[in-house]
Amino acid sequence: MERSELKLLARNIVIEVLIYSLLVVAYVLLVLRLLGEPLKKLLDNNLILYAFVALALIVAQGAILEIITSFLLDRLRLERLE
């Protein structure tokens, strides 16, 4: 791998980490504000259903973060090394 490719890769990783961290903080605040109480009640009343809902939220979070990050990286016209 050439030096310029390594610089590009390092820059893109830093940008992706920054974007991911901002999105994760926003997601956590949104979930805590909107779903905190309903999830607490679900945990107290039905542990198995809570586990499935939590798993669905984790999977949805990962997919949505990937979609948003890819969209933002495309808009910023950042090259991807594949």
- Residue range 4-15, pLDDT digits in tens: 778 877 887 888
Q: Three-state SS string across the chain, please? A: CCHHHHHHHHHHHHHHHHHHHHHHHHHHHHHHHHHHHHHHHHHHHCHHHHHHHHHHHHHHHHHHHHHHHHHHHHHCCCCCCC
Taking 60 as the threshold, does the pLDDT of residue 82 lie above it? no
Residue 77: what pLDDT?
A: 75
Residue 6: what pLDDT?
A: 82
